[in-house]
Amino acid sequence: MTTGGETARPRQRPYLIGVAGGSNSGKTTIASRLAELMDDEQVSLIKLDSYYVERSNEPLEQRAAANYDHPDAFDWDLMNDHLAALTAGASVQVPVYDYAIHDRSDRQETVHAAKVVVVEGILVLWEPRLRERFDLKIFVDTPPDLRIIRRLQRDVAERGRTPESILDQYLATVRPSHELFIEPSKRYADVIVPEGGLNRPALEVLLARVRELANGA
């Protein structure tokens, strides 16, 4: 195809970055900083939490008791389809998850294709098809005591939960799933970032690299 006598340049494939790590490790801080660095045409953000499986056919009590840190909690097919579409240059309609009802809401958010696509979530390095899509794989490695303190603070303040319910869930599902699935996925990482968003030198290096990619370097 030509325009004004010039040959159109083929669209460049997006550079995909996967950011994994335990619950409240600081991966969201890193992914958000990377996404906020540029406008929507340069960097897009996809969150694994948006792809929890739909549970509208289950009573609330059953949904509340589910293990949301297990691989079976996620709709991997939909996420892979969305990343394939973004890689091809199309926009996607991403589900909006409602933590209060433990299910998808009736809303969706549009995510546009960009030069850099950041994918963030506890198990994004665990799922083989997803992992193979990434050009850069990051694991945020934060000690368990810091992660549980952050989880307590977040869930009490933002989700209206009691400390007792948070600790019960942590011991019953969060910790076992971390040891079985999330921690082992660290071996697939290209870069391991200790302390997450608190590691300013590592964050600055990542930000600089994304700037280069978004600007066509």
C-beta atoms surrounding 59 within 10 Å: 9
Cβ neighbourhood burial of 72 (10 Å; 0-12, 13-18, 19+): exposed
Residue 208 burial by Cβ neighbours in a 10 Å radius (0-12, 13-18, 19+): exposed
What pLDDT is attached to residue 47?
Answer: 95
Question: Residue 211 — very low, low, confident or very high, per pLDDT cuts 50/70/90?
Answer: confident
Q: pTM for this structure?
A: 0.86
Q: What is the mean pLDDT of the chain?
A: 86
Give the residue, 177 or 34, on which the prediction is more confident.
Answer: 177
Domain 20-214 has CATH 3.40.50.150: no
Which structure tokens are listed for 81? 């389809």
Ranges 26-30, 129-133, 137-141: which has the least confidence: 26-30
Mean pLDDT of 32-47: 78
CA dihedral 170, 172, 177, 179 (to 10 degrees): 80
pLDDT at 88: 94
Categorize the per-residue pLDDT at 92 as very low, low, confident or very high, splitting at 50, 70 and 90: very high
Percent of the chain residues past pLDDT 90, beyond the cut:
47
Q: For residue 1, is pLDDT > 50?
A: no
195 compared with 124, residue with greater pLDDT: 124
Domain ranges in the chain are 20-214
